[in-house]
Amino acid sequence: MTRRRWIADEASGNRAALTGDHADHLARVLRARTGQEFDIATDAMVRRGRIVTIQDGRVEFELGEEVAEPPPLDLTLLLAIFKFDRMEWAIEKCTELGASRIVPVTARRTDVHLAASSLKRVERWRRIALQAAEQSRRATPPEIASPIKLEDVVSLTREALRILLAESEPHFLLRDVLAAHPAREIVLAIGPEGGWAEDELQLFEKSGWVPASLGRTILRAETAAITATAIAISELT
């Protein structure tokens, strides 16, 4: 039987703990008992953990043998900010698929009210990513960065294969670009509702990004993010 996985809030030596709401979910909602075993992910590794104490807001584990893990993937998403309910769904699903980093980006066509409120949503996005990582048995959640302006991030990570997903790209499909440029580190830029503005497309081009398409149909932003992640992960693995 596959053991459920938890990502520890604290770890030291052969002990680890879940704290706060994280612990209460295990203790009260899932009705955990001392002696139960789970896989516990720490910064160093994943180990088998046995519950030794349960208290309000705290569940402690004794850690045992290491659990073998595949090497982590390196897929970053630059995700232009869009409607929060749909963006949360994209973050959850891209986490399940294996994205290692998600960078919320303020683009030209990002709604001004969403851009202004985005800083207040980061902690919620991180909680969603943590829950999705545990559900999908990941050892770590993806890094969820604080929102950043497009012009401040587009020239970063030059050592990676940087791919711009654009509706205006008629010739090169994402899967073909990935096949033609094998890489272990990939960055995908996914635009907002309405797509990238013309000056943004020019900025990507000047910064050396490779354009690619997801096909002839026009996808919603969350659908594009999930589809692109799935295609890229299949190439990375």
Is residue 158 scored above 80 in pLDDT? no
**Residues 44, 13 contacting (CB under 8 angstroms):** no
CA distance 127 to 51: 23
What average pLDDT does the segment 124-151 reach?
94
What average pLDDT does the segment 138-157 reach?
89
Three-state secondary structure call for residue 15? strand
> Which domains are seen in the chain, by residue range?
5-66 (2.40.240.20), 75-236 (3.40.1280.10)
Average pLDDT, the chain: 92
pLDDT digits 0-9 by tens, 90-105? 999 999 999 999 999 9
Please give the share of the chain, as a percent, with pLDDT higher than 70.
98
**Residues 75, 99 contacting (CB under 8 angstroms):** yes
In this structure, the number of other CB atoms found within 10 A of the CB of residue 231 comes to: 19
Where does the pLDDT of residue 231 fall: very low under 50, low under 70, confident under 90, or very high at 90 and above? very high
Give every CB contact of residue 236 below 8 A, 6+ residues apart in sequence: 73, 74, 75, 98, 184, 186
Distance, C-alpha 15 to centroid of its chain: 27
**Residues 97, 230 contacting (CB under 8 angstroms):** yes
What average pLDDT does the segment 114-118 reach?
94
Taking CA atoms, 71 is separated from 38, 133, 138, 184, 193, in Å, by 21, 15, 11, 11, 34
Three-state secondary structure call for residue 203? helix
pLDDT digits 0-9 by tens, 165-214? 987 766 789 999 999 988 889 999 999 988 899 999 999 999 999 999 99
**Residues 200, 176 contacting (CB under 8 angstroms):** no
What average pLDDT does the segment 71-77 reach?
87
Q: What's the pLDDT score for residue 169?
A: 66
Q: What is the pTM of this model?
A: 0.86
Where does the pLDDT of residue 1 fall: very low under 50, low under 70, confident under 90, or very high at 90 and above? low
